[in-house]
A = this chain, B = another copy of it.
């Protein structure tokens, strides 16, 4: 018998929380960053490299996987863990966000969303019940409720309508999840745009429902960082302390550290791999654009003090060359370096919270970014 999903809160330091949750595929230390494996692969990394970079859990996209290769197919092949050779925990999103951002000809009703596939134009319907079914076919350790996600800024009436609909879809997601195998978890998603009252109403209603964890959704969709952080710090005090809190689709390294300071436990974002494919590295010294000609003759590694080998092994000149030559290895190395940097940052936060010195850690990390990259080679 599989043990039920469980979350342990070990320590707090201000609002920052140090904990862990346990799933059928293993335990994840929090605060945690989940690399995104959109199409059953974290772009540019073998799964063992994702693990070696420090990741304990990754995110799969319901929208992409339902369209290709298909949830029933993945289930017949043994589930997503087997399919992509990632025997560690997986969280899947509900598809709601990608329907908004990728699909065309959407038609939204109380029942669900009908849209055309961005791959082959096929008509597809996604409902709370089907989203949960797909996520369980994939075998996700953590399943997300189906929700409606708006871009910001949005009119208050639209935000309220979407929030209320998401609440009703949350209830339907819970009912659809009742027959799930033991050990899987279902998270509710707080919506309400950038409106304080709507967010509070959403959080209050959701926390009355028996979810295993709570996400803050509908952020990192165009609003300034200050707005995002204001919503986070309004919402987290309304969430139960004994369940994990997940800020969806976030973000830059500074977003992570500021959201952890406001009580968030989990994150996902494509930024480490997407920016890596575009020649950008995240480092202790701030972001470094390897396409810049200043690196062309620089024999120094990206960061000699980085725990990840690729950041210490290859010269900036070589990385610059790979980027300019549009070589696959550029995206491979920079994506891996970035995933590893994010994981190192999370590990640093976990250690600092446990030691009661999170504020000092945050200052030190942000000062490093503010000082910026190495001076040019003399």
Contact = CB atoms under 8 A, between A and B. Distances in A.
B83 A327 contact: no
A44 B328 contact: yes
**Is the contact region of chain A dominated by helix, strand, or loop, or is it mixed?**
loop
Interface string A303-343: 00000000001110110111011011101110000000000
Nearest to A273: B328
A76 B39 contact: no
Nearest to A325: B39
A73 B297 contact: yes
A320 B68 CA distance: 11
A85 B313 contact: yes
Contacts of A313: 85
A83 B322 contact: no
A315 B76 contact: no
B73 A317 contact: yes
A328 B331 contact: yes
B317 A77 contact: yes
A234 B54 CA distance: 57
Contact of A332 (B78, B314, B332): B332
A348 to B, nearest CB: 26
A318 B39 CA distance: 11
Contacts of A44: 328-329, 332
Contacts of A73: 296-297, 317
A43 interface: yes
Given A73-B297, A297-B77, A83 B317 contact: yes
A321 B40 contact: yes
A62 B68 CA distance: 42
B41 A329 contact: yes
A69 B328 contact: no
Nearest to A333: B46
B327 A39 contact: yes
A258 B325 CA distance: 35
Contacts of A331: 328
A32 B328 CA distance: 25
A299 interface: yes
A328 B313 CA distance: 22
B77 A322 contact: no
16 contacts: A44-B329, A46-B329, A46-B332, A46-B333, A68-B321, A69-B321, A69-B324, A73-B297, A73-B317, A77-B297, A77-B315, A77-B317, A83-B318, A84-B318, A328-B331, A328-B332
Interface of A: 39-41, 43-46, 68-69, 73, 76-78, 83-85, 296-297, 299, 313-315, 317-318, 320-322, 324-325, 327-329, 331-333
Given A69-B320, A77-B297, 10 more contacts: A39-B321, A40-B325, A43-B327, A44-B332, A45-B329, A83-B315, A83-B318, A84-B318, A85-B314, A332-B332
